[in-house]
Structure formats: C-alpha cells, structure tokens
Chain A
C-alpha cells in the first residue's frame, strides 16, 4: 500500500478495496518506523486519523470529494495551517499558531486530503541541505542504517530494519541505539543529507509516509531535495500557485512546489492546486485547466535543448554521464536534440544571492517580537528589544542574509548592487526566452552537481558557501519564473539517486510534464523499497 502511486491508491479507495482509515494508519506506522530520519516538526496523526475516518465515510456513501479524497499528504512547515503550529524551523516562530491556513493547504483540505504533519526544513527556507533547522537535520533514507531499540543497553535487544535497497551492495548493518524524539544529535553522522530546503517533504514521499507533499521553491528548494531523495519535484510557473499563507522568503521568486513519486501524480496535485487566488495578487487570473498525461508519449515532434553552460565546474562524472544518456535517449527516439546557449548562466547564482539577501532583509523585518512569535526580555527600548528578539530567534544563516541584504540596500549601494542584480535578472530571463522562441520546447539539464553528500562533509563549509555551490542549476529557473521538474533517473555507484531537470516555458506545464513522464517511462527508476511496518 505504501509503495503505490497516488493515482493507483485513489482508484483502490474509490473501488472500496482499501479504506482511507486503513491507509492513514499504515502511513502513520511508516512515519513511526522511520522516525530517525527526523521528517516532522509537528505531527498531526490524531487529526489525520479523524479526517481519514470522515473520508472513509464519504467513500462508503459514494460522496467522494475529489481524486485526492483520503490521500495522505504532508506539508512543509513554511505553510500556515490554522490551529497547527507553524515554525519555519525557527525559534522565532517556535510557538506560533496561525489563525488561518495557506490557500495551498486549504485547497488540499477542501478536496479531502489527509495531512499527517508539518515537515522539517532549513530555517526560513534558507539552505540547500535541510540541516539548519531548530529541530535538527533531516536524514536521507537512501543508504540509511535504520535500527530500532527496545532498551538502550545491550545490542542483544536491538533489531535492524532491513533496508532492501542495500541488499545488492552487501553492506553490514551496524547496531546502534537511537532516541525516538527529535533527533538533534549528530554524533552518528555517516548518513547523507536530503538536500533542501524542503527536505522533510521529499523524504516523506520517498519513504511512503505520504503520496504527495507540499514544498516551496525559491532557488531550488523542491528540485534539489527531490534529486537527492529520488522523487519527482515540480516547481510550477511563478503566478500559477498561490503564495497566500506561504511564509515568504523572496516574494519575487518563491513558488509552492509539489513532491510525488511519479509524474502522473504531480499532474493530479497540480490540477488541484493551480489557479487564480484573490488572496494572492501575484497569481495570474487566467483560467487553469487541469490535465492528465497520455500513456503513449510521442517525442518525435519535441525539440530538446541542452544548454552548454550547464556543464558547470564540479559537475560529477556520474551526473554528467546520466545527462548524456538521457539526451541520447531523446535523440534515439526521434526527438530533435540541440546544444543551446544561456550565456549569462555563470552570473545567475551571484545575481540570485543579491536579490535573495535584499528581499530577505525586507521580509524578515516583520519579526519584531511584538505581534507574534518569540519576544526577548530586554525592555530598555524598542530597538534593544527588536535586536535581542531577532538575535535569539534567528539562526546565523538568517541573520547573515539580513545583514547582507541591508548592505546591498544602503542608498550608496542600491544601484551598484541591487539594481545591477535586477538588470542581470532580466538578462537571465531573456536568455531563456530567446532559446524557447527559437523553437526549443524543453531544456534538459542536471538538477544538482552530484548525488547527495554525506552530512559530515556537507557541514564543513557554511550555509552561504554551500548555497553558492549547489544551487547552480536550479536558481536561474526561479529568476526567470519558468516551470521546471526533477525526474529521478538512476542510482549512483554508491546507491544514491541521480535526478535530471527539465525546464519549460512559462505556463507550459503540460508539455513539461509529458516530457518528464516519457523520461520516467524509459529509465524505470528503482524507487526506495522499505519493508512494510
């Protein structure tokens, strides 16, 4: 049940072969089984089970709300959920309970989806590892040595959960004791990062805890963890999905994103979420028509572009090889494949870093401790209270970006840094437009430089440095506001997922996902298999 796709599960629910309550119970059991991965900041299992029972009743009475009725989902903790703590993985919002739900959340709820909890992430979505969270890092389930313990004393009482994806590698399980609460210790650090910032949501889908998850993508925060965790990660066009209730990082770049196990499922969820929202004036008023993808996809009329600048320094051999293989696959199937150029690509990450810091400095100004969130104790003056509240409430990464943003926005630097970045943004967006106008339908690129990194290596450099390195292929897409999707393609020699990114023109999600589904059908990616709980 846990390995099934959303589409298949919905069919079983509508045929009465499985009840929503059974499904929810199985997902909760799975979540408990993999608790060590630290997926959740706030679990909502009790509410989920109630929602599932209501869904089961609706199914029995033939009153199914939507294909998503009864389907378990999880929600990144950057989306406000009425009555349920929403923290953005930060101390400053640790006890914040929103009085309203984000539109994306409300649309899922209205269609009967069952939410299991709020997933872990990098604090305020700043990061590409999901390691900088108040609640501890999220761990990648791939190559993870799961253990369970009944006591914390002798090895005799420990029982390993066999991760069958490791069988062919012949690795020995190491017995270790683990705590069943938020895992904040990182002494045992021979596990791999999930990527970020929406790591929790990616893992929830990869492990079968849910069939779909909400994430947010500002510079790659959905596609990056999708690549490392071997799942589909869709970043739709800016303006298609509502940001109302998505705690903002960079208003001109943020987009809600969707994680699923297969491309068909992403199309289903997109259909439920997309479309104008009067609460978000940056959503386009154009009507959105939900679509489903055909089983037989003809790529002979497809023109695939390979942007040469996406062979960036430090691209891993295995990722390069995978990219080449899929490009060749398209060509062998009759698609037209050409090398194209997006000349300003190397400057994209620099431009992104400036725009991001500037908008962050502005967006984070609301956290003053007076109306909501953490409040310091220094009552000597307003400014002293603000400074203390924010010093205590934000981690280094957030404070560093606010400081940089304020620097770039100083009057004497405004044109020099901020406006210059906005000019480069136009050049980046124009690069894509030129290529698409010349007849290219989609672009095929790597998603990340390499498969997932070991945690111990990743934390040797600071967050800012890592973002500068790892967001190379993903953030130009955010600057241009166009849609892109990560498709899991293969496993590396070390047994970690390698994903590739497909990029399309604005509002062409249908073509984009059709091409993605075709790739998915050709490569037959070996999804993570975990024993049923």
Chain B
C-alpha cells in the first residue's frame, strides 16, 4: 500500500519501486492461508467410548491406560481422525508401502549366522536353564473397577 501512495505522489517512478510492486503482486507464495474451515456438521457424531470397548482395548493394548485421561485423549484422537471422512476416496486403492511397485529382495536360503544363545539371553530379566520365564498364561486380565463410566 505504501508503494502505491509513493507512485501517486512522485512524478518519476523509480525502477526499484516498480519492481517491488511487481514482485509483491507476482509472488508465487500465497499471501493468506489457503485451508478451508472444517465443516463440523459434515463430520460423524463425536465418539463416546463405552465400557465394553474400554475393557476390550485394555485386554488388547495391555498398557493399563484406560483411565479418565487416557480415554479423553483417545476420544480426541478419534475426533481428529474423523476428519478423514471429508475426503472422497471412492475408487482409491489403499497404499501399504511406497515400494509397492518393486519386488522384495530375497537372499539365498543359507544359514549365515546363529550360535548366539548367550547374547540373546543376556538382556532377559529372568532366565532359568536357558529358558525365558513367564508367569502362567490363560488367566484373564482383572477388570479395573475405578474406570467404570
């Protein structure tokens, strides 16, 4: 805007001024943000996770995080992910890997290493007679009462 004022006032238009005007009018960088506002009405209803799902996730994830804060964070993550439904993906194939057009390298089926029992067992917390030790399996994870909603 300053350049324009100058232009009107001075009879001799400096070359630099002209260049500056031309530059700001032709810059390829957009002057304003170009994103559209998200139309909230187009999104599905915000997800509220029910108790059964919480229990199921606890059993699958095994991180003991289905407390109030954990569930709120999860619901926020789901809400964010819901924005994906504003995109038309009909006819689009899912992409697993950017290398999908290439063949995986396969090496010769020859044994080239092994005999490293010591190294493999070295980092284990509990070892007995060269076995990794685990508590009994097939016992369902106890449900946590305080996370009921």
Contacts and interface: CB of A to CB of B under 8 A. Distances in A.
Contact of A339 (B30, B36, B59, B93): B30
A306 B30 CA distance: 9
A313 interface: yes
A281 B105 contact: yes
B28 A420 contact: no
A7 interface: no
A468 B123 CA distance: 36
B117 to A, nearest CB: 11
A278 B105 contact: yes
A403 B35 CA distance: 30
Given A350-B81, A353-B80, A429-B95, A403 B74 contact: yes
B124 A372 contact: yes
A282 B99 contact: yes
A506 B100 CA distance: 13
B83 interface: yes
A320 B29 contact: yes
B102 interface: yes
B98 A324 contact: no
B94 A324 contact: no
Contacts of B95: 422-423, 425-426, 429
Interface in A413-432: 417, 419-427, 429
A407 interface: yes
Interface size class of A (residues with CB under 8 A): 35 or more
Given A369-B125, A390-B63, A417-B81, A423 B36 contact: no
A460 to B, nearest CB: 16
B137 A381 contact: yes
A465 B80 CA distance: 10
B104 to A, nearest CB: 5
A426 B77 contact: no
A464 B124 contact: no
A192 interface: no
Contacts of A373: 123, 125
Interface string A83-109: 000000000000011011000000000
A382 B134 CA distance: 6
Interface in A300-328: 306, 308-309, 311-315, 320, 323-324, 327-328
Closest 10 CB pairs of A and B: A481-B98, A375-B125, A422-B94, A381-B139, A99-B119, A372-B123, A391-B64, A426-B95, A423-B89, A399-B63
11 contacts: A100-B119, A281-B105, A284-B102, A350-B83, A374-B125, A383-B139, A383-B141, A385-B134, A399-B64, A403-B70, A426-B92
Given A238-B99, A313-B33, 7 more contacts: A99-B122, A312-B34, A370-B133, A400-B70, A404-B73, A407-B49, A407-B74
